[in-house]
A and B are shown apart, each in its own frame.
Chain A
């Protein structure tokens, strides 16, 4: 029995044609593989799909693929079923519609295959690689350059500049909360100026112009001049070589020389606005004696290039030579006496036995018994008579029969005389027998009151002269006491930072060996140099000029003391206006 296979072919033009093939039976295989008699080009179908079998003149279908279990339009491919007696059968396999039938003379099996559309191999994957993929185009250097340049320009140029132009003068108290201009700042602004962090134009007044001293002085008014303009100009060395070029360039670009910005630079973060490099002082102070020949007396100090070259310290002291009271600033020497007019022995007061020791309830006094740091914690408060000495040295001038002690307050001599005269005369009026002055004879009348007052106060054993032995002036009307609070007028010293073990007061001040108040108990520079040295010296504290000296300090003016000295003890505090007047 022959098999006639008719396949409909769908042309691309849309036309349908038929391909008719005739096979000699009895078997025809169907499947995806090219090894089949009939190729069903459908990827969903198995390689071998089914066989058409003719056995003893009976046409049947038999599944050849074990995986194909499903029945096809009622024809069970699992169990072969022959189409005996049936003249026609139709079923679908994949996209194919297949119909079976017998010719009219029962001599030929007719198989019609309709693929339902064009079939054949179509590649599923297009060209595998693109020569330039999307991934590769992302790596395009030109694209990245443009994108980044726009982004960075927006962030670093447009954003800060637009906000700078639109900036207001609103002040922020939070340093970290700074305007975007901070992206242009060369560093974090100092805490002193942090209020201007958001308004650059407070200092940078004009674009492309450097900050001027005039702008600084808007706030920093009337800072003391380091020296007169003449002296400063004479002190500066004449620039040579590169320095002169630098000067020319600065002049060309309108940058002032010797202004605030010479020493002060902001935007150094926590380092502050003082950018004082090593050796800036030396620019003028080295070789100063040559440039200021003839003026050095007015300057008052020697040519100093470094700590190691520093001469002996010069301390202030009171001099009473020839009855004139003058202030002397000179180096320590055996002949240098501080004639304040007070009698006092440090040795006696610090002794571990004796009168003072007994009075202090058999305890040794220490420095702190009389001397206390002031609020700045840098210097000591002046010793007050009442609080410092009064514990032992009260001004008791008499007592009455009931044992009541009469005391004077520590006051000017004139005042003390007045008070004492009044008390004495009042006492004699009320009860002539009651008050007994300690330091006068037994005459209790009001006669010779003046002499009696003088005797009580100013006699050799009088109340005042116990301490103010040499302070009485010639005519006996005044006690010319002059005490100095600040012995080193050109320098500062911070006692609080020197409270370090094993440093004690006597490491610098030899009080225990001092029997007279006239001894100047200040240390020599050698004492300092046990710890301090020039910058760069190892294992020492690097000490530059500014550690002890202020730049913005006016030189002190010494008052004329011999005339106009108060009758009361004068405490001489020479304040060289340290730090200046700042708003």
Chain B
């Protein structure tokens, strides 16, 4: 199963025998060749005829690349492939980085023009990270949660929490204190941040288990009760681990989207202002 999934997620890169990789490479070679050999009378910048040509190509590519988000939502009959479109999106995005850089003529400054370029480069560079995330994370995500949805996992955890809370009525001393901590290991914000930044393994579960076993050995609690507690703890630990991994994977995608998508709009806005400003002060 994992193999099949990873093959499917790899395939947008190798779509149609890397057709769009070759298209992008050809585009880049032509652009570099023209940049070197174009009979431009002044130094290269966006304002020569060649610069305007590169600029028009760049803005066209930007709009087309951004339209991936529209295209994938317009599900309708016809001969088109979302996989192919994504493949082209990746490779032509790389070509855009080069073409837009040549358009600048390597002239940068603290202004809207360089801001537009910077915004676009953030989108493209984050795109590389996106390719890595989308090639690995979805398969891990389905491996982790199996056939269960996040809501199902969450409702299971609520059930375990409820039983654990009831069981805590029977406990006293150190096991109670540790048990309270085990019960609380699912705070909303803290848990999500932990899921992102800290390890998934939870030492408090181990400590709680140890304290229960000690209490049982000391005869402080009955065997049946200790077994119940241990079973619930084990269930909760497994569920928390899965939920945290789930959150981590989801958060990776969310954070990536929260960079890639907004910066797409930022760079399009800035390119719009860039074009306006250039011709306003021609």
Interfacial residues, chain A to chain B (CB-CB below 8 A): 32-35, 41, 43, 46-47, 121, 123-125, 127-131, 133-136, 139-142, 144-145, 148-149, 152-153, 156-157, 160, 182-188, 200, 204, 207-211, 242-243, 245-246, 249, 265, 269, 275, 277, 279-280, 283
A208 adjacent to B282 (CB under 8 Å) = yes
Provide the bound-state CA to CA distance between A46 and B278, in Å. 78
A152 adjacent to B186 (CB under 8 Å) = no
Q: State the Cβ distance, A47 to closest chain B Cβ, in Å.
A: 4
Provide the bound-state CA to CA distance between A269 and B244, in Å. 53
**Residues of A contacting B261 in the complex (Cβ-Cβ under 8 angstroms):** 141-142, 144-145
Q: Is B217 an interface residue (CB 8 A)?
A: no
Given A47-B172, A129-B243, A186-B111, is A211 in contact with B282 using a C-beta cutoff of 8 Å?
yes
- Map CB proximity to A onto B121-137 as digits: 1 under 8 Å, 0 otherwise: 00000000000000000
Provide the bound-state CA to CA distance between A124 and B277, in Å. 60
Q: Is B258 an interface residue (CB 8 A)?
A: yes
A46 adjacent to B282 (CB under 8 Å) = no
**Residues of A contacting B75 in the complex (Cβ-Cβ under 8 angstroms):** none
B158 adjacent to A34 (CB under 8 Å) = no
Instruction: Select from chain B the residue with minimum beta-carbon distance to A156.
Output: B112
A135 adjacent to B192 (CB under 8 Å) = yes
B188 adjacent to A123 (CB under 8 Å) = no
Q: Is B183 an interface residue (CB 8 A)?
A: yes
**Residues of B contacting A46 in the complex (Cβ-Cβ under 8 angstroms):** 172
B184 adjacent to A125 (CB under 8 Å) = yes
Most buried by B among A134, A139, A156, A211: A156
Provide the bound-state CA to CA distance between A265 and B47, in Å. 11
**Residues of A contacting B46 in the complex (Cβ-Cβ under 8 angstroms):** 186
Given A141-B257, A182-B111, is A125 in contact with B161 using a C-beta cutoff of 8 Å?
yes
**Residues of B contacting A153 in the complex (Cβ-Cβ under 8 angstroms):** 269, 273
**Residues of A contacting B212 in the complex (Cβ-Cβ under 8 angstroms):** none
* Pairs A–B under 8 Å by Cβ, sample size 24: A47-B171, A47-B172, A123-B165, A127-B158, A128-B187, A128-B191, A129-B188, A136-B192, A149-B269, A156-B112, A156-B270, A156-B273, A182-B110, A185-B281, A200-B281, A207-B280, A242-B39, A246-B49, A249-B49, A269-B109, A275-B42, A277-B41, A277-B42, A283-B41
A139 adjacent to B151 (CB under 8 Å) = no
B281 adjacent to A121 (CB under 8 Å) = no
A210 adjacent to B282 (CB under 8 Å) = yes
Sample of 12 more A-B contacts, CB < 8 Å, known A145-B264, A157-B273, A183-B112: A34-B169, A47-B169, A128-B186, A131-B150, A134-B189, A142-B261, A145-B266, A152-B115, A184-B280, A186-B113, A186-B278, A210-B282
- Map CB proximity to A onto B237-271 as digits: 1 under 8 Å, 0 otherwise: 00000010000001100110110111111100110
Given A207-B280, A208-B282, is A136 in contact with B254 using a C-beta cutoff of 8 Å?
yes
Query: Chain B interface mostly helix, strand, loop or mixed?
Result: helix
A135 adjacent to B154 (CB under 8 Å) = no
A121 adjacent to B157 (CB under 8 Å) = no
Q: Is B79 an interface residue (CB 8 A)?
A: no
Instruction: Select from chain B the residue with minimum beta-carbon distance to A144.
Output: B262
Q: State the Cβ distance, B64 to closest chain A Cβ, in Å.
A: 19
Provide the bound-state CA to CA distance between A261 and B187, in Å. 66
Q: Which 5 A-B pairs have the closest CB atoms?
A: A128-B186, A141-B261, A184-B277, A144-B262, A145-B262
Q: State the Cβ distance, A150 to closest chain B Cβ, in Å.
A: 10
Q: State the Cβ distance, B258 to closest chain A Cβ, in Å.
A: 4
**Residues of B contacting A242 in the complex (Cβ-Cβ under 8 angstroms):** 39, 49
Q: Is B17 an interface residue (CB 8 A)?
A: no
A208 adjacent to B279 (CB under 8 Å) = yes
Most buried by B among A124, A152, A185, A188: A152
Which B187-238 residues have C-beta < 8 A from chain A?
Answer: 187-189, 191-193, 222
Q: Is B162 an interface residue (CB 8 A)?
A: yes
Q: Is B16 an interface residue (CB 8 A)?
A: no
Given A141-B258, A156-B115, A185-B281, is A133 in contact with B192 using a C-beta cutoff of 8 Å?
yes
**Residues of B contacting A34 in the complex (Cβ-Cβ under 8 angstroms):** 169-170
**Residues of B contacting A280 in the complex (Cβ-Cβ under 8 angstroms):** 41-42
Query: Chain A interface mostly helix, strand, loop or mixed?
Result: loop
Q: State the Cβ distance, B157 to closest chain A Cβ, in Å.
A: 5
Q: Is B107 an interface residue (CB 8 A)?
A: yes
Q: State the Cβ distance, A546 to closest chain B Cβ, in Å.
A: 14
A133 adjacent to B189 (CB under 8 Å) = yes
Given A207-B280, A242-B49, is A186 in contact with B107 using a C-beta cutoff of 8 Å?
yes
B188 adjacent to A33 (CB under 8 Å) = no
Q: State the Cβ distance, B186 to closest chain A Cβ, in Å.
A: 3
- Map CB proximity to A onto B32-56 as digits: 1 under 8 Å, 0 otherwise: 0000000101110111010000000
Provide the bound-state CA to CA distance between A182 and B114, in Å. 12
B109 adjacent to A186 (CB under 8 Å) = yes
A149 adjacent to B278 (CB under 8 Å) = no
**Residues of B contacting A144 in the complex (Cβ-Cβ under 8 angstroms):** 258, 261-262
Instruction: Select from chain A the residue with minimum beta-carbon distance to B193.
Output: A135
Given A32-B169, A136-B192, A184-B277, is A129 in contact with B270 using a C-beta cutoff of 8 Å?
no
Provide the bound-state CA to CA distance between A246 and B38, in Å. 13
**Residues of B contacting A148 in the complex (Cβ-Cβ under 8 angstroms):** 262-263, 265-266
Contact of A204 among B189, B243, B260, B281 (CB under 8 A): B281
Q: State the Cβ distance, A545 to closest chain B Cβ, in Å.
A: 15
Q: Is B166 an interface residue (CB 8 A)?
A: yes
Provide the bound-state CA to CA distance between A139 and B39, in Å. 48
Contact of A125 among B109, B110, B165 (CB under 8 A): B165
Given A123-B162, A148-B262, is A128 in contact with B192 using a C-beta cutoff of 8 Å?
no
**Residues of B contacting A130 in the complex (Cβ-Cβ under 8 angstroms):** 188
Given A141-B261, A152-B266, A265-B42, is A131 in contact with B111 using a C-beta cutoff of 8 Å?
no
B188 adjacent to A184 (CB under 8 Å) = no
Provide the bound-state CA to CA distance between A70 and B182, in Å. 30
Provide the bound-state CA to CA distance between A139 and B186, in Å. 20
Contact of A139 among B154, B184, B255 (CB under 8 A): B255
**Residues of B contacting A187 in the complex (Cβ-Cβ under 8 angstroms):** 107, 109, 111
Given A144-B258, A156-B115, A204-B281, is A149 in contact with B266 using a C-beta cutoff of 8 Å?
yes
Provide the bound-state CA to CA distance between A373 and B222, in Å. 110
B43 adjacent to A184 (CB under 8 Å) = no
Q: State the Cβ distance, B136 to closest chain A Cβ, in Å.
A: 20
**Residues of B contacting A160 in the complex (Cβ-Cβ under 8 angstroms):** 112, 277
Q: State the Cβ distance, A7 to closest chain B Cβ, in Å.
A: 18
**Residues of B contacting A211 in the complex (Cβ-Cβ under 8 angstroms):** 282
Q: State the Cβ distance, B163 to closest chain A Cβ, in Å.
A: 10
A129 adjacent to B269 (CB under 8 Å) = no
Provide the bound-state CA to CA distance between A252 and B39, in Å. 21
**Residues of A contacting B254 in the complex (Cβ-Cβ under 8 angstroms):** 136, 139
Q: State the Cβ distance, A15 to closest chain B Cβ, in Å.
A: 26
Provide the bound-state CA to CA distance between A506 and B166, in Å. 107
Contact of B262 among A32, A141, A182, A265 (CB under 8 A): A141
Q: State the Cβ distance, B269 to closest chain A Cβ, in Å.
A: 5
Most buried by B among A125, A128, A246, A269: A128
**Residues of B contacting A33 in the complex (Cβ-Cβ under 8 angstroms):** 169-170
A183 adjacent to B262 (CB under 8 Å) = no
**Residues of B contacting A208 in the complex (Cβ-Cβ under 8 angstroms):** 279-280, 282
